């Protein structure tokens, strides 16, 4: 349970949050027409006669959009409704050519499901919470209005009109900004794993309507407001916080929260009432008579299920148990699709190159990706996008380090040099090959112990920490090319 | 259920049809006549009856996800889409300025 | 052949005559073009397109000269109800709001007709957005029936509606055939009023793509022509699966013309007892009785059937059709096409209200308001859901009846044509004229009207045949049996 409370003048308040997330379904063409969905096209070039609602135009649903919504439902363990319907939501606005949005009210495609979130992503072993999903339905996106291109007119671009959206409606199960943020992040992660939405929040591919109310702990729900179109995890958290504080202020000042639609202003970090949408909402939903009920057969559902990838929770669990990674590393590696894909690709290549078992290599690859290489890339202008940051280069260095050919820190050095200069990677590895020649190392050790007799005495008297000093001196004498493990062993013997 | 002037005015506003006072006054008895007549449907016992969904046995077909598969229902048709627009500028439809 | 005689020919006679070289398609087109030009008093056409008719005729003649097949409608000029979008030719639905609208696309049905060799004489007048039973709601003025009562007076009569331009044009020999659409009797009632044949096929036979929508779950296109064979020919050209219409039937188009057979031995004809209403017009009742005798004579067995929910069909229709229409007509908002009325200083929502006030006629507004009301919050279940349940019962009535019979015989309309202005002040009495036509529309069944004789005023009466789903053939065959016995040859005396 969350202990998040708003401290008001009259005491503590609990915040109650539900999210309605609109996620653009990944598809080539629109939900009911063959026009393209690509982002950033010239205005009204991706508009069919259907999307412009010309007289006599009719909708025909896109199978891929239905399939992606079903797969998403399966990924959150939701009930898939084999019989659903499209309804019309009627209202007038310039971005809505038909005068209605085709949506699903009465019989949504996907019923109840759940998502488990980790409340603190830095502490993957910490507490988790299950957030209920009420439904997922499929609907049309609206077009776009531009207000600042003409002094007296708004311009209408219908490129987005008719693009497929999934509306994912949560239960009012969240109790803090952190929970709301964790939920949205987890949802995005799942959608990206499934491939049903690209999750690009800055392009509007995912946006959340944030329902917030406050109450005294233990009391019934208060009146909620809905803040529309919030387009980042950070903003969702900010909306919850600022809107909850505003509501507490209203109530404590003797007022009442009005059920209304609000808009978030990130510059001022506050929400404001949306007057223009306050049109005595009466959407007159009814089943779209242009479309028959949507009936899905078992073969369709079976294909949807079979095509689901390994999902985030399962993958994280497998990384911990089968690969022996720490919960923290497993969580980090599975956060983004690109990260786990790189990890698995590299691990696979390293396994092939070294002939060793995955489990014996996973930790090495994980360290390389999450810390060693990450450190190098941080200092590079292009970061991970550097053209020489190839799987092959990474694998060569990981294998060399893992086989003891070079040390881990040497691998890091070489990688940095490789990215920023013209050196040949294989030659550089060869040149920095570390030695396991015990004779040379023993000679170096003998000299160091002789030169530092006082420290040897201290060590033998119990100052264990000096061991690191001897290792460092030996490595230095060997110009960094000695195998640290061998150095360790020989030093222990010599100091015994 | 019968409607009064205020209700008809509300419905007309919802339907975005501006009615003059005279039109409004004339519409009230007309709508009431029609509504009173359709209300005989209330007599019908519909216990256990499902509302009609598909009048002729048929299944909803889903189309393949292909861009511009049929040019009649595809994009890349800006001129066609804007051809009849009362106001079109720079590839956009123009409407009176909206304040959100 | 004299051109005056050419306009006496129907579809089959023109098609066959052109194919055999008895006359050219151009001669036919010119003859009908001349009749159209001379009949402005009937106001049947909103726009005449003599050049289109000629162009198609020339193409047919050229094909014949080249020895190529001429198509099912080769050389036949037709009238096109102005509800079908025609590329490059104004399409208005007889409304001010679409005045000047020039589609950039061709409706599926009209395209199929042109592909079959037909040519377009012009766009036919109709009730505005197909809402009406007398063609008195057109923005472009009333259509006047070519028929007059035999009382020596010259009262202008209604040609029926909504396909009143179509019925008047065919009856007055301005076109051998015309397209109609039928939502609640709009093909059958006008056909009956002017002594021609017309068939509404099973819902889904003809694509609705490109037809200005009135009520999507009811709208069906169909042919209106002088006899049953012509209807069969033209319906073959109009029907067929269209992937652009999600409610289109994916079935092959039967060869209805080849299947015509007026021998009804072994067939059962149901006579619905609920259609024999108190105070029924005596001439209509007598014509129905004659129809029963004719079908007996054709070998059919007559059975008494019950359609117990008949009296509720009309009220259910007047909830469902306006509800769908209120949503279908929301797209006429002055943004993308058609009329825009922008009063000084008006905002977007004011523009909508002004545009729609100026652009829609009184009957259209009435139906939009009814539809908006019955879908509005708090009334949806009582009106709309109840009506759709009653619709289920009405469809069930037919299903039950068809276990006892193959087709159903009933009058098409409760009266012969009435005078213009006689019913236009009382919407309810106008609605009641569709009492016999609407039940088959609600059940999506094929139904046709064929001329059965004249009443005591010298005006045509129609008989209606309703068939099982997909059984247009059974309907046409029963129509043929009546046609053969009615020997209807009356035609309006030319006064225009």
> Which three-class secondary structure state does DSSP give residue C54?
helix
**Does A204 share its domain with A295?**
yes
Contact between B17 and C347 using a beta-carbon 8 Å cutoff: no
Q: Are A214 and A251 in contact (CB under 8 A)?
A: yes
Give the Cα separation of A47 and A160 in Å (integer): 8
Cα distance between residue A381 and residue A390, in whole Å: 16
Tell me if A271 is assigned to some domain.
no
What does the pLDDT read at residue C2? 57
CA distance A49 to chain B (A): 6
- Residue C54 CA to residue A127 CA, distance in Å, equals 80
The pair of three-digit structure tokens given for residue A381, joined into one six-digit string:
């202008």
Q: Is the pLDDT of residue A30 over 70?
A: yes
Interface check for B48 against chain C (CB to CB < 8 A): the answer is: no
Q: In sequence order, which ranges of C66-187 are alpha helices (DSSP H)? A: 108-115, 164-171
If you search the block for the tokens 């950070």, which residue do you land on? A234
| Claim to verify: residue A130 and residue A91 sit in the same structural domain | yes
Q: Which chain B residue has its CA at the smallest distance from A160's CA?
A: B75
Q: What is the 3-class SS of A415-431, one letter each residue?
A: HHHHHHCCCCHHHHHHH
How far does the CA of residue A284 sit from the closest CA of chain C (Å)? 5
Q: Do B55 and C365 touch (CB under 8 A)?
A: no
Structural domains of chain C in order of their starting residue, each with its CATH number:
3-262+446-486 (3.90.1300.10)
**What is the b/e burial string over C143-160, where b = at least 16 CB atoms within 10 angstroms of the residue's CB?**
bbbbbbbeeeeeeebbbb
Could you read off the pLDDT of C44-86 as tens digits, one per residue? 999 999 999 999 999 999 999 999 999 999 999 999 999 999 9
> B touches which chains (3+ CB pairs under 8 A)?
A, C
In A194-353, beta strands by DSSP E: 206-215, 225-230, 261-265, 270-273, 286-287, 294-295
C167 flagged as catalytic: no
Q: Do the domain assignments include residue A371?
A: yes
Burial of A137 (0-12, 13-18, 19+ CB in 10 A): buried
C-alpha–C-alpha distance, residues B14 and C437, integer Å: 32
A46: which chain B residues are within 8 Å (Cβ-Cβ)? 75-76
Question: In terms of residue numbers, what domain contains A33?
Answer: 17-211+219-233+277-303
Tokens of A482: 């000695």
Helix, strand, coil share (%) of chain B residues, nearest 5: 40, 10, 50
Q: How far apart are CA A275 and CA C166, in angstroms?
A: 49
Instruction: Please check the confidence at residue A127 and state whether its pLDDT lies above 90.
Output: no
C345 contacts on A by Cβ (under 8 Å): none
Q: CB B96 to CB C347 under 8 A?
A: yes
Residue of chain C whose alpha carbon sits nearest to that of B36: C315
CB proximity under 8 Å: A 193-212 to C = none
Looking at C217-299, which runs of residues are DSSP E strands?
Answer: 220-225, 268-272
Which residue among A244, A269, A303 closes a domain? A303
In 3D, which of C358, C330, C363 has the Cα closest to residue C343? C358
Q: Using the beta-carbon criterion (under 8 Å), do C318 and B37 form an inter-chain contact?
A: yes
Residue A240 in domain: no
Using CA atoms in the order C368, C370, C376, C379, what is the torsion angle rounded to 10 degrees? -160
Q: Are residues A352 and A394 in the same domain?
A: yes
- Residues from chain A that touch C99, judged by Cβ atoms under 8 A, are none
Q: For residues A284 and A341, state if they share a domain.
A: no
Confidence (pTM): 0.92
Which positions in chain C touch B42 (Cβ < 8 Å)?
382, 386
Query: Number of residue pairs across B and C with CB atoms under 8 Å?
Result: 174
CB contact under 8 A, A49 and C105: yes
On whether residue A351 sits in a domain, the answer given is: yes
C98, A55 Cβ separation under 8 angstroms: yes
Q: What is the distance of C-alpha A67 from the center of its chain?
A: 22
Evaluate whether A401 touches A408 at the Cβ level (below 8 Å). yes
Both A131 and A164 in one domain: the answer is: yes
- Chain B residues whose CB is inside 8 A of the A100 CB are none
Place A431 in a pLDDT band, splitting at 50, 70 and 90. confident
Look at residue C179 and give its three-state secondary structure: strand
Helix H or strand E encompassing A348: helix A337-354
**Whether A487 and A422 share a structural domain:** no
Nearest CB to B96 within list C312, C333, C348: C348
* Average pLDDT in chain C: 97
**Chain B interface, Cβ < 8 Å to A:** 10, 14, 16, 53-54, 58-70, 72-78, 80-82, 87, 89-100
Q: How far does the CA of residue B60 sit from the closest CA of chain A (Å)?
A: 5
Q: Which residues of A are less than 8 Å from C103 in CB distance?
A: 54-55
Q: Is any Cβ of chain C less than 8 angstroms from the Cβ of A49?
A: yes
Cross-chain Cβ contact C372/B81 below 8 Å: no
The verdict on residue A401 lying in a domain is: yes
A244-302 residue pLDDT tens: 999 999 999 999 999 999 999 999 999 999 865 545 679 999 999 999 999 999 999 99
**Of A138-142, A376-380, B37-41, C128-132, which gets the smallest average pLDDT?**
A376-380
Q: Which residues of A touch C327 (CB under 8 A)?
A: 88, 90, 99-100, 284, 286
B67/A276 CB distance under 8 A: no
Catalytic, C186? Answer: yes
> In this structure, are strands A286-287 and A87-90 parallel, antiparallel, or unpaired?
antiparallel
Residue B56's contacts (CB-CB under 8 Å, 6 or more residues apart) are: C202, C203, C204, C249, C444, C469
Q: Does residue A197 sit within a domain?
A: yes
Query: Which of C211, C213, C349 is the closest to A92 by Cβ?
Result: C349
The distance of Cα C380 from the centroid of its chain, to the nearest Å, equals 30
One domain for residues A371 and A484: no
Both A403 and A448 in one domain: the answer is no
Contact B62 A36 (CB under 8 A): no
Q: Specify the pLDDT at position A3.
A: 83
8 A C-beta contact, residue C49 and residue C122: yes
pLDDT of residue A275: 63
Task: Judge if A41 and A111 occupy the same domain.
Answer: yes
C2 vs A185, which has greater pLDDT? A185
Residue C381, class by beta-carbon neighbours within 10 Å (0-12 exposed, 13-18 middle, 19+ buried)?
exposed
User: Among candidates C475, C479, C444, which has minimal Cα distance to C183?
Assistant: C444
Are A292 and A338 found together in one domain? no
Q: Do A53 and C331 touch (CB under 8 A)?
A: yes
Other beta carbons within 10 angstroms of residue C48's beta carbon come to 21
Query: Closest residue of C to B47, CA-based?
Result: C389
- Which candidate from A56, A98, A282 shows the least CB-CB separation from C212? A56
In terms of domains, do A454 and A426 share one? no
Output the pLDDT for position A426: 87
Nearest to A69, CA basis, from A106, A35, A21, A34: A21
Q: Choose, out of A35, A55, A95, A277, the residue to mutate when testing the contact with C (most C CBs < 10 Å).
A: A55
- Among C107, C166, C186, C424, the one annotated catalytic: C186
pLDDT at site C300: 98
Tell me the CATH number at A483: 1.10.10.410
Please answer yes or no on whether B18 and C353 come within 8 Å at the CB atom: yes
Residue C377 CB neighbours (<10 A): 11
Share of chain A above pLDDT 70, in %: 98
Q: Are β-strands C268-272 and C301-305 bridged in parallel, bridged antiparallel, or unpaired?
A: parallel
Nearest chain A residue to C321 by CA distance is A289
CB contact under 8 A, B17 and C369: yes
Residues of C in contact with A54 (CB under 8 A): 85, 103-105, 336-337
Contact C372 B70 (CB under 8 A): no
Domain boundary among A400, A431, A462: A431
pLDDT higher than threshold 70 for residue B65: yes
Set C52, C63, C81, C423: catalytic member: C81
Q: Which residue, among A385, C469, A71, has the nearest Cα to B54 in the 3D structure?
A: C469
Is residue A255 in a domain? no
Dihedral of the CA atoms A242, A248, A253, A254 (nearest 10)? 140
Taking the Cβ of residue A290 and every Cβ of chain C, the question of whether any pair is shorter than 8 Å is answered with yes
Tokens of C407: 């087709």
Among partner residues C312, C333, C369, which is closest to B11 by beta-carbon distance?
C369
Q: Which two structure tokens, joined as six digits, stand for A388?
A: 């020489």
CB C331 to CB A292 under 8 A? no
Query: Domains of chain B, with CATH numbers?
Result: 5-42 (1.10.20)
Per-residue pLDDT of chain C (496 residues; tens, 9 = 90+): 555 599 999 999 999 999 999 999 999 999 999 999 999 999 999 999 999 999 999 999 999 999 999 999 999 999 999 999 999 999 999 999 999 999 999 999 999 999 999 999 999 999 999 999 999 999 999 999 999 999 988 999 999 999 999 999 999 999 999 999 999 999 999 999 999 999 999 999 999 999 999 999 999 999 999 999 999 999 999 999 999 999 999 999 999 999 999 999 999 999 999 999 888 999 999 999 999 999 999 999 999 999 999 999 999 999 999 999 999 999 999 999 999 999 999 999 999 999 999 999 999 999 999 999 999 999 999 999 999 999 999 999 999 999 999 999 999 999 999 999 998 888 888 889 999 999 999 999 999 999 999 999 999 999 999 999 999 999 999 999 999 999 999 999 999 9
DSSP characters for C333-378?
A: SSSSSS-----TT--HHHHHHHHHHHHS-HHHHHHHHHHHHHHSTT
Element (H, E) at C465: strand C460-467
Q: Angle between the A337-354 and A358-367 helix axes, to the nearest 10 degrees? A: 130
Question: How many domains does chain A fold into?
Answer: 3
Q: Are A368 and A479 within one domain?
A: no
CA separation for the pair C193, C462 (Å, rounded): 7
Chain C positions in Cβ-Cβ contact with residue A52 (cut-off 8 Å): 336
Check pLDDT > 90 for residue A464: no
* Residue among C243, C353, C390 minimizing CB distance to B41: C390
pLDDT digits (tens, 9 = 90+) for A31-70: 999 999 999 999 999 999 999 999 999 999 999 999 999 9
- Mean per-residue pLDDT, A411-420: 91
Inside any domain, residue A365: yes
User: Within 10 Å of residue A231's Cβ, how many Cβ atoms?
Assistant: 18
Q: Do A62 and B53 touch (CB under 8 A)?
A: no
User: What average pLDDT does the structure give for chain A?
Assistant: 93
């Amino acid at each position: 349970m969350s202990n998040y409370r708003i401290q008001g003048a009259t005491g503590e308040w609990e915040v109650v949050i539900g999210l309605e997330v609109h996620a653009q379904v990944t598809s080539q063409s629109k939900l009911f027409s063959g026009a393209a969905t690509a982002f950033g096209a010239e205005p009204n070039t991706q508009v069919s006669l259907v999307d412009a609602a010309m007289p006599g135009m009719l909708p025909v649903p896109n199978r891929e959009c239905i399939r992606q919504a079903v797969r998403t439902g399966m990924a959150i363990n939701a009930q898939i409704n084999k019989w659903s319907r499209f309804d019309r939501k009627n209202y007038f606005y310039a971005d809505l050519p038909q005068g209605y949005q085709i949506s699903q009210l009465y019989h949504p495609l996907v019923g109840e499901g759940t998502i488990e979130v980790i409340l603190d992503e830095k502490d993957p072993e910490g507490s988790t919470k299950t957030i209920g999903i009420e439904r997922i339905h499929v609907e049309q996106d609206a077009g776009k209005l531009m207000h600042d291109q003409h002094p007296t007119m708004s311009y209408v671009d219908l490129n987005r009109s008719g693009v497929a959206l999934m509306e994912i409606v949560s239960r009012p199960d969240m109790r803090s900004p952190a929970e709301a943020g964790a939920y949205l992040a987890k949802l995005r992660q799942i959608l990206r794993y499934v491939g049903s939405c690209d999750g690009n929040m800055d392009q509007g591919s995912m946006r959340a309507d944030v329902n917030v109310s406050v109450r005294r702990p233990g009391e019934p729900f208060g009146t909620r407001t809905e803040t529309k179109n919030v387009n980042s995890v950070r903003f969702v958290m900010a909306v919850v916080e600022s809107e909850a504080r505003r509501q507490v202020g209203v109530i404590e000042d003797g007022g009442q929260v009005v059920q209304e639609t609000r808009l978030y202003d990130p510059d001022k970090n506050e929400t404001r009432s949306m007057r223009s949408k306050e049109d005595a909402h009466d959407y007159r939903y009814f089943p779209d008579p242009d479309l028959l009920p949507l009936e899905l057969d078992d073969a369709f559902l079976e294909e949807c299920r079979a095509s689901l990838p390994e999902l985030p929770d399962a993958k994280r669990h497998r990384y911990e148990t089968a690969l022996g990674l720490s919960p923290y590393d497993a969580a980090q590696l599975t956060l983004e699709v690109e990260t786990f894909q790189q990890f698995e690709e590299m691990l696979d290549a390293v396994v092939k190159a070294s002939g060793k078992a995955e489990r014996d290599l996973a930790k090495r690859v994980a360290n390389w990706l999450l810390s060693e290489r990450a450190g190098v890339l941080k200092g590079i202008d292009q970061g991970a996008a550097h053209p020489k940051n190839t799987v092959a280069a990474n694998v060569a260095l990981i294998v060399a380090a893992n086989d003891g050919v070079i040390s881990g820190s040497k691998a890091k050095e070489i990688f940095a040099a490789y990215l920023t200069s013209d050196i040949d990677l294989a030659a550089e590895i060869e040149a920095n090959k570390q030695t396991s020649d015990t004779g040379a190392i023993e000679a170096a050790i003998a000299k160091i112990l002789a030169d530092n007799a006082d420290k040897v005495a201290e060590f033998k008297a119990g100052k264990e920490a000096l061991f690191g000093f001897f290792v460092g001196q030996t490595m230095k004498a060997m110009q960094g090319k000695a195998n640290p493990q061998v150095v360790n062993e020989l030093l222990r013997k010599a100091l015994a | 259920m019968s409607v009064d002037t205020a209700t008809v005015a509300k419905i007309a506003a919802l339907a975005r049809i501006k009615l003059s006072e005279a039109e409004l006054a004339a519409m009230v008895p007309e709508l009431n006549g029609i509504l009173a007549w359709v209300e005989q449907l209330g007599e019908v016992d519909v216990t256990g009856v499902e509302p009609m969904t598909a009048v002729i046995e048929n299944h909803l077909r889903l189309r393949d996800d292909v861009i511009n598969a049929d040019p009649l229902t595809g994009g890349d048709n800006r001129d066609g889409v804007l051809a009849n627009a009362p106001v079109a500028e720079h590839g956009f439809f123009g409407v009176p300025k909206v304040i959100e | 052949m004299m051109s005056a005689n050419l306009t006496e020919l129907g579809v089959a006679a023109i098609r066959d005559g052109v194919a055999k070289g008895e006359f050219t398609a151009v001669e036919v087109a010119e003859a009908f073009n001349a009749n159209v030009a001379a009949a402005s008093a009937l106001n049947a056409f909103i726009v005449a397109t003599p050049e289109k008719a000629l162009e198609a005729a020339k193409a047919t003649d050229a094909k014949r000269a080249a020895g190529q097949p001429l198509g099912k409608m080769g050389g036949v000029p037709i009238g096109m109800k102005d509800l079908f979008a025609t590329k490059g030719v104004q399409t208005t639905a007889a409304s001010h709001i679409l005045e000047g609208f020039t589609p950039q696309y061709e409706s599926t049905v009209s395209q199929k007709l042109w592909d079959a060799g037909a040519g377009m004489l012009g766009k036919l007048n109709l009730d505005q957005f197909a809402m009406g039973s007398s063609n008195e709601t057109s923005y472009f003025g009333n259509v006047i029936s070519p028929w007059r009562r035999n009382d020596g007076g010259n009262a202008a009569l209604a040609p029926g509606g909504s396909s009143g331009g179509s019925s008047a044009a065919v009856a007055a020999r301005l076109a051998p055939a015309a397209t109609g659409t039928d939502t609640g009797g709009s093909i059958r009632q006008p056909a009956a009023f002017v002594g021609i044949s017309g068939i509404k096929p099973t819902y889904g036979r003809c694509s609705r793509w490109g037809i200005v929508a009135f009520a999507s779950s009811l709208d069906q296109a169909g042919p209106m022509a002088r006899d049953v064979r012509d209807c069969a020919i033209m319906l073959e050209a109009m029907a067929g699966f269209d992937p652009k219409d999600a409610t289109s039937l994916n079935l092959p188009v039967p060869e209805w013309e080849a299947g015509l057979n007026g021998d009804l031995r072994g067939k059962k004809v149901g006579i619905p007892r609920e259609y024999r209403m108190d105070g029924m017009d005596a001439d209509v009742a007598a014509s129905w009785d004659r129809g029963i005798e004719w079908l007996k004579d054709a070998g059919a067995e007559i059975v008494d059937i019950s359609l117990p929910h008949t009296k509720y069909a009309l009220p259910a229709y007047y909830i469902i059709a306006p509800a769908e229409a209120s949503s279908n007509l929301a797209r006429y908002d002055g943004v993308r096409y058609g009329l825009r009325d922008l009063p000084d200083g008006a905002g977007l929502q004011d523009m909508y209200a002004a545009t729609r006030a100026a652009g829609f006629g009184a009957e259209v507004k009435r139906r939009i308001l009814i539809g908006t009301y019955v879908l509005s919050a708090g009334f949806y279940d009582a009106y709309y859901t109840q009506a759709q349940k009653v619709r289920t019962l009405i469809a069930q009535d037919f299903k039950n009846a068809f276990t006892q019979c193959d087709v159903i015989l009933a009058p098409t309309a409760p009266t012969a044509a009435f005078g213009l202005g006689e019913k236009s002040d009382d919407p309810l009495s106008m609605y009641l004229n569709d009492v016999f036509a609407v039940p088959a529309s609600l059940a999506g069944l094929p139904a046709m009207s064929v001329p059965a004789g004249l009443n005591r005023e010298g005006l045509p009466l129609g008989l209606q045949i309703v068939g099982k789903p997909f059984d247009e053939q059974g309907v046409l065959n029963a129509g043929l049996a009546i046609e053969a016995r009615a020997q209807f040859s009356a035609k309006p005396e030319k006064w225009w």
